[in-house]
Amino acid sequence: MKLNEILLQFVNEREKHEQKVGRYNSSSLYEIITNKLKPKDFFKPKTYDLQACQNIIEGEIMENALKELFDFSKADYEYQIKKVLVLNDFEIVAKPDFLFKDKILECKSPVSMPDKVKDYHFPQAEAYFRIFQKPVWIIYIQHHFNYRIFRYQENETYWRYILEKLKVFHEELLKICQTKK
């Protein structure tokens, strides 16, 4: 059996959401504000190498285990509830893993265990806070259910920075799309 080939196919070929101009996922904000995702590449499908596929699957396994624990304990939460923040020129879509009455818990499965919220999770966490108006906690889970939980500290100045970078990205993407017509 060639499990690695199956894993590569599974992660890279499973159903993906359609990219739309003016609709941006909170999970893509870090790539957008750091210019790792350029407007010209917005519609190109992402492909992942074997290591990335293994990381993605491990993260999904850990998240599912956490969901089973919450279900078992009869915790009062909603799972992956989508909410959209509509702004003047564009919208941001957020879908946190666990939405509780008083907080959000987002699950991550890092290769190495951090001692604080990783910088590249800041934009997504900031968007969750702004969209749901609840404190955001990040749980980092590794093998053997070793975990650490950190509260993300929201920051108004950082939020304005994200929105400005996203506005520039959006305007550049619009120009590219108009040129192709």
* Residue 1, pLDDT above cutoff 80: no
CATH 3.90.320.10 is right for the domain spanning 3-179 = yes
Rounded to whole angstroms, the Cα distance separating 108 from 121 reads 9
Mean pLDDT of 46-72: 93
Could you report the per-residue pLDDT of 62-110, keeping only the tens digit for each? 999 999 999 999 999 999 999 999 999 999 999 999 999 999 999 999 8
- Type of residue found at 139: I
Q: Where are the domains of the chain?
A: 3-179
* Residue 181, pLDDT above cutoff 80: no
pLDDT score for 143: 84
pLDDT score for 14: 86
Name 108's bridge partners.
Answer: 140
Find, among 109, 175, 97, the residue nearest to 148 by Cα: 109
Q: How confident is the model at residue 116 (pLDDT cuts 50, 70, 90)?
A: very high
Contacting residues for 17 by C-beta, under 8 A, at least 6 apart: 25
Q: Quickly count: other Cβ atoms within 10 Å of residue 85's Cβ.
A: 16
pLDDT score for 46: 85
* Residue 161, pLDDT above cutoff 90: yes
Q: Is 165:33 a contact under the CB 8 Å cutoff?
A: yes
Q: How confident is the model at residue 178 (pLDDT cuts 50, 70, 90)?
A: confident
Q: Quickly count: other Cβ atoms within 10 Å of residue 116's Cβ.
A: 12
pLDDT score for 121: 97
pLDDT score for 169: 97
Could you report the per-residue pLDDT of 117-158, keeping only the tens digit for each? 999 999 999 999 999 999 999 999 988 889 999 999 999 999
Angle at 46 between CA 40 and CA 161, to 5 degrees: 55
Rounded to whole angstroms, the Cα distance separating 143 from 114 reads 14
pLDDT score for 16: 77
